[in-house]
Structure 1
Amino acid sequence: MNRALSTLLTFCLCLGLAVNAQAQVRILDRIVAVVNDGAIMESELQSRVAAIVGQFEADNRPLPPAQVLREQVLDRMIIERIQLQLAERGGIRVDDGSLNQALTGIARQNNMTLEQFASMVRGDGYSWAEFREQVRDDMVISRLQQRSVSSRVRITDREVDRFLNSDLGRRMFAADFHLGHILVQVPSGASPEQLEQARNKANGIVQRLRGGADFAETAVEQSDGPQALEGGDLGWRPAAQWPTLFAETAIDMQAGEISEPLRSGAGYHILKMIERRGGGGEHVVTQYRVRHVLIQSDALTTQDQARTEAQRLHQQVVNGSVSLADAAREHSDDPGSRNQGGELGWVTPGQMVPEFEQMMESTPVGQVSPVFQTQFGYHFLLVEEQREADMSDEFRQMRARQALQKQRFDEELQTWLQEKRAEAYVDIRLDQ
């Protein structure tokens, strides 16, 4: 009996130690949200919140209540995680070469080398490895959005002409806006009671703002928009490139003015005209005559194989063993330029995807660029000539088409994000 009692006590002691050990593990880290078949951990949330707090302190902005900040950050992380999961299933990746090119571009915008920029990031208390992966995730999400949303946007020639000939179109080409934004979100299929509740909330926010409440602080605490943690600051944009709902309202607003709530499928929007200026007066634009080679992945070719093939062809062109034109005719996967030896003609900024334009603008005339990645595959290009061209009717049409596409893209993006959020399984455990 004594031996049995001793065994039982030993078992209970071990069980107690095991329970305590498990409790300690839960304290160290726990799940704060389940997103489909993945999870967001407390440590991830804390790291992101700490980074946001650092940004607020660096900008001398007052912090919102801790719980509000945690909820805002977690909601942003959930949307990011859903998109990264979709990108993974769609085979969208960003290789180290493309990532380094993007980081080099960020460093160049800050007048630094990549090494200097990395040192600055570390000096601000951030992990360079984590910063790199965050930039990679942002690039993956951008490519997913371009692939998923751009196909939903169609602009006809008739729409372009009608826009250019309208009074609104002419006025939009004469102004740039810097807008602040607050969104009171409405779920899809909302009941009349939910709509009324959201409308009352939006009207109350407008009254507080017009009564002197700080717009940025209110946005952080109240907005459901993607820039809430930035105080709702949407930055500068030509008037013609804002979503139609925003542009038609903002065109007559003065600096400092707060709009009435604007209803869209996403909810109620509140705008602040932070600043406006005359714009769009340029009559000269830099154009580039470009050739390129594109290698794509497909059912038989992986991304790694496509990148290796692009690098092989690039090396041959750089060594002079084959011309870029011949490489394009033999190997390029761009059906529009392959038979012309990769010739794209004169390219005006705004015609190509951002990664292509960035490489085009940074490559000296007569030189072959490094291999780089876009949503279409792996490219390298040659800038044959560069010129300054007068702004023509054709260019104005292109600018109008871009503006309409930008408007529609932003509108469709918000709808698409709402759809994907509604389709996903999300279990928030923030308060458990």
Structure 2
Amino acid sequence: MAARTMGEYRPLKETISSMKSFVSGPQTVSGLARSAAFACALIAAGSPLAYAQAPQPTVESPPPAPTGMSESVAAVVNDQIISTYDLGQRMRLLIATSGVQPTEQTLPQFQREALISLVDESLQFQELRRVEREQKIDIIAGNEEVDQEIADMAQSNNMSREQFLQFLQSRQIGIDTLRQQIRAQISWARWIRGRYGSRLRIGDDQIAATQAKMAADAAKPQYQISEVLIDANRVGGMQQAMQGAQQLVAQMQQGAPFPAVARQFSALPTAAAGGDAGWVGQGEMPPEVQQVVEQMRPGQLSQPVAVRDGVYIVYLRDKRAGGGTTLVNLKQAAVALPQGADEAAARAKLEQLRPQITSCDTLEAAAAKFDGVVASDLGEAELSDLAPQFKTAAESLQVGQVSEPIRTGAGLHLVAVCGRRAAGGANMERDAIENRLYGQQLSMIARRYMRDLRNSATIETR
């Protein structure tokens, strides 16, 4: 038995052979993730991707139970054994939740991903137990937490707990396999948040810089993408990452749902949301990915894209051109006057009202104190589409300011500018920016933590 890196796991013939019966019929079942630790909602697959060429296979009767599967050692992690039975069970769970069709070509990838996951979980539990002993605290999730997570998964799929467990049993997946994965993910997320979460500080300068960048990018093209990153450090190198990504692309082109694949294989924080990264602009993607996305059309799936940390797969859901115009949000207080009518009284009334409007929020209440003055929200419009009188006022006013009385054919108006932004995308709230930066930093810390655990561990395979 020789020590190996994570990328050097050779096929375990016994496990592969025992899984052959699982490939006897179509098994596409996709996962609908909860935003909590583990995404394992199980439904009949249906590809949402416009690029799928092959018809979606239907789910047939469950495969026969594997025969001749004797339990032996698949790997040893710091003297802790991972059996071939554990490996086979995890492979079944991955197949059931990823939507990727098990074939002779994809089984080795399932085996590698399953073994990596089991090794990572072993390292996590070993670290958590060490911390519990040294610090005299409880971190590892109890049975009640795990059972509640399983109940939530069943409910999110419109199943009872019993139906959910029967589904797993129909795929020869032991409940202990699911429980182990859930327990590891809940416990590890709790430890990372507890150890590092309170130390992270997102400064006002970081938020301001992000807001400034978003404002500058609003006039540039934006892309609504879903993403998968195969982490080269995790799978054993760029060659393994590229091979795995190529197999996943081939499977998604045949109908495997992108969200299910992302949840099971992606190393990005967006994995929990099925890879949904939302709208991103230039500079928010790795340069290699941005070059590819700029050449894609909505509905297209990229080929694997090598980046510094691994290999990306991107699905372009939509894109929009950058806005060269300005959008303004306006409110008004107006007095109706026919053409040619004496406007002196109305003008005096609006002049008296104007200093009482301290913000857009106070405009309606202030206007209500004056007979004949009607307040209204004009909503958001492009500056270039406004009536000439309103456009001149909106161009010269700052947000929160109120114009002098403006004469139009309908009467006299006070116009308040309540918001201004460049066309091309909605502004992100400060709290949303802070949460996004916080999540990115916490995810980076967690990945580095796991990398250090792997590098210092003794991992042996047979």
Q: Normalization by structure 1: what TM-score?
A: 0.49
Answer with 1 or 2: which has the greater Rg.
2
